[in-house]
Amino acid sequence: MRGASRPLRAVRAAGAPAGTSASGAEPAGDGAPGTDAAGAARARTRIADRADAFLAEDELLTRLRTRSAEQGVVAVSPATAAALTFLAASTRARAVVEIGTGLGLSTVALLRGMPADGLLTSIDPDGSRQAQARAACVEAGFGPGRVRMITGSSRQVLPKLSDAGYDLVLVDGVTTDFPRDLEAAMRLLRPGGVVVLDDVLWQGRIADPVRREALAGALRETVRTVREDERLVPLMLPVAEGLLCAALRDGSAP
C-alpha cells in the first residue's frame, strides 16, 4: 500500500503564467513574481495538514502506522483512513473488497464503518503481512468471520469474485495495475456501489524514469476512464495524494 501523506501541490492551468490560477484569473497579491503561487501552496499545505489532524487516530491505528513505516509499507494517510470509514458507513457497505492489505490499517478503517454483519475481502500477495493485518483486526474487536484474507495478486483473485456482489471496492495495490483493477471493480460492484482509488495524483517520485513513466501512464489512464465513463458518477477528493471515488449508476452495471 502507498499513501504516505505529503503536502498538496499548487495547481495551475497548463501553460499559464506563474501566479495565474487554473481559471486564468490573476490572484490578488502584492504583485511580486511567485509570491502568490508560493502563498497558495503554503495555504494548501496547511489545509492538508488540518484535514489529516481533524480526527486524532487511536492507539491501534497509530501503532499500525508506526509498524508499517518500520516494515517499509506505506499506509494510507490519517485523512484517507477517516474517509474510508466514512464511505463504508455512508454506503452501508456490507460486502467490501480491498486490494492491498498492507498491515491492516485501511482494513480496520473500512471495518469500522461497515455494519456488524459486513464481510471484508482483502487481497494481497504477501501472506505474512496479511497475518499481521488479521491480528490487527482481532485487536480492533472484529471477529475472524468479518474478514476474508486472500493471498494473491489482484490479477489472480478478482476474476474469481462474484459479479455485482459488492458495495465498495478499494483499489490500493500495485499502481500499474490500476486500470485493470478499475475494470474489475466495475464488474464487482452492484448498481449504486462505490469504487475508491488511492493516490491517483501521486507524482511517482522515483529515480527510474522508465518506472516513473509507467506509473504516471497508469494513473492518467485510470483518471481519464473514471472521468469519461458515463456509467460512473466521479468525485476527486483532495485527500493526501488524491482519493478518486466513483459510484456506479443504477441500472448501469456492465
* Dihedral over Cα of 188, 192, 195, 201: its sign: positive
> Which amino acid is it at 102?
G
- C-beta atoms surrounding 246 within 10 Å: 24
Instruction: Kindly list the averaged pLDDT for each block of 10 residues, start to end, along the chain of length 254.
Output: 38 37 40 67 73 82 96 93 97 98 98 98 97 97 96 97 97 95 97 95 63 85 95 93 93 54
Q: Which CATH number fits domain 59-248: 3.40.50.970, 2.40.30.10, 2.40.50.140, 3.40.50.150?
A: 3.40.50.150
Q: Name the residue ranges covered by the structural domains of the chain.
A: 59-248
Strands 232-237, 119-124: pairing kind: unpaired
Q: What is the pLDDT of residue 47?
A: 74
The whole-number pLDDT of residue 46 equals 77
- Predicted confidence at residue 205, as pLDDT, reads 52
**Whole-angstrom Cα distance, residue 254 to residue 201?**
26
Phi, psi of 221 (to 5 degrees): -65, -40
